[in-house]
Chain A
Amino acid sequence: MSSNYSDKFLLASSLAGDEEAFGKLYDKYVNDIFRFICMRIRSREEAQDLTSEAFLKTWQYVSKKDTKVDNFRALLYRIARNIVIDHYRKSGHEMLAIDEAQFDLIEDKELGIEDKLKHKDDMRVVRKALENLNSEEQELIAMKYIQDLSTKEIAQITGKKSGSVRVALHRAIKRLKQELK
Chain B
Amino acid sequence: MPNIVACFKWVIDEAYIRKGASGALDFSAVDYKISDYDRNAIEEAARLKGLHGGSVTVLTAGAPEAAKGVKDALSRGADQAFFASDPIFNQLESSQTAAILGEIIRSRIPYDLIICGEGSSDQYAQQVGPRLAEKLGIPCISYVQKLTIGEGGRVLAERRVEEGVEVVEAPLPVLVTVLPEINTPRIPGVKDTLMASKKPVVTIKKEELPAIGAARLQTLGMTATRMERNCEKFAATPEGIAGFVEALQKKGVIS
- Bound pair: A and B? no
Q: Could you tell me which A residues sit within 8 Å of B by CB distance?
A: none
